[in-house]
Amino acid sequence: MYGLCRIFLLTYMVTVAIPVSLAFNLDMTPSDMYSGEQKDFYGYKVLQFKSGTNKGIIVTAPLNGSGEICKHDKSEKPKCFTPKDISFPNKTIPVKHFGLSIAEDSTLSQFTVCSPSVAHECYDNSYLNSVCYKMTAHLQPVSSITPNFQECKKQTVDLAFLFDGSGSMTEEEFHKNKDFIVDIMKNLSSSSIKFAAVQFSSDYRKVFDFNDYQAGTALDKLMKEPHMKKLTNTHKALKFVLEQIFENPGAGATPDATKVLVIITDGDPSDADRHGIIKKYDEKHITRFVIGVSCYVIYMSHYSVLCFQ
């Protein structure tokens, strides 16, 4: 009786195990292999497609020239598509990195493939836009979504430096302020930015204005500027910069220019904002940055704060 039970139990276990083990059988059909250049990022995106009874895959290679997509199936040699340059009036813009993104539609018979790297150059600035193509499974474009660019307009920027000359700043830090201003002016010398500079302490003093910068005398005046070494009356100096630099045609200011203020300081102001000068800067949409010397600046909640040591 014991032997019969063992035979029955063994038969039962085998009967249960067979269908379970069948689920893990491997398909031994030979696989299809497609290869391309690694430097082209071949295979960065892979998409299955179906068009009637025709099935295959779409493979992207976004670093092959402008980028390309290729179709592979069993009935044809690989067929590839590369986008043409985009033409605008008086401008032709190349497409780069085509195939960085790809998605099929609900039927799998069409798909959309895009490039995020259509670069629009505008006076030393690069603006990136995207272009997308809706494609059939035969790599025929159905439609495209191309960027719409505005013409470049050279916008004048009036940038004023307001730098700290208070007694809490060492001579080394004071000269570091000057070096920072010189570096910014030299790096942006080919742009459409005009510069002015004002030192502030208990009082304020114009170091050079926009006219001096255009006349080529700004750097010489900056190097000769002595250290004031008194208090830090920041708001008083802000009022002067607004009224006598940014809004003063006699200082070379351009009325419709984009206005930027860079404050270089090592601490909190000694004076109060009695004239609501911060609000006036906000109302006039003047962009402001604070460069904190030795990271002691803590008060400028209305500004973007950077720091150097």
Closest CA relative to residue 278, chosen from 239, 232, 231: 239
Q: What is the pLDDT of residues 133-153, one digit of tens each?
A: 888 877 888 888 877 666 677
Positive or negative, the CA dihedral 295, 298, 299, 302 is positive
Tell me: do 93 and 204 sit in the same domain. no
Tell me: do 194 and 269 sit in the same domain. yes
Tell me: do 275 and 181 sit in the same domain. yes
Tell me: do 128 and 179 sit in the same domain. no
Q: What is the pLDDT of residues 27-53, one digit of tens each?
A: 666 666 777 788 888 888 888 877 666
User: Is 301 inside a domain boundary?
Assistant: yes
Better-predicted residue by pLDDT, 224 or 111: 224
Tell me: do 206 and 281 sit in the same domain. yes
Tell me: do 190 and 119 sit in the same domain. no
- pTM higher than 0.75, yes or no? no
Number of domains within the chain: 2
Assess whether pLDDT exceeds 50 at residue 300. Answer: no
Tell me: do 176 and 290 sit in the same domain. yes
Tell me: do 44 and 179 sit in the same domain. no
SS3 105: coil
Q: What is the pLDDT of residues 163-216, one digit of tens each?
A: 999 988 889 989 989 999 999 999 888 778 999 999 999 999 999 999 999 999
Structure token pair of residue 158: 């009036």
Which amino acid does the sequence have at 258? T
Tell me: do 127 and 80 sit in the same domain. yes
Q: What is the pLDDT of residues 71-91, one digit of tens each?
A: 877 666 788 888 888 887 777
- Residue at a domain's end among 89, 122, 145: 145
Do the beta carbons of residue 242 and residue 285 sit within 8 Å?
Answer: no
Q: Domain holding 198: CATH number?
A: 3.40.50.410
Tell me: do 111 and 132 sit in the same domain. yes
User: Is 96 inside a domain boundary?
Assistant: yes
Residue 84 CA to residue 171 CA, distance in Å, equals 59
- Residue at a domain's end among 145, 179, 197: 145
Assess whether pLDDT exceeds 90 at residue 221. Answer: yes
Structure token pair of residue 292: 């904190």
- Long-range CB pairs of 214-223 (<8 Å, 24+ gap) are 214/252, 218/185, 219/182, 219/185, 222/178, 222/181, 222/182, 222/197, 223/178
Tell me: do 138 and 202 sit in the same domain. no
Residue 287 CA to residue 304 CA, distance in Å, equals 9
Give me the domain span that covers residue 99. 38-145
Tell me: do 243 and 126 sit in the same domain. no
Residue 273 CA to residue 240 CA, distance in Å, equals 13
- Residue at a domain's end among 145, 175, 204: 145
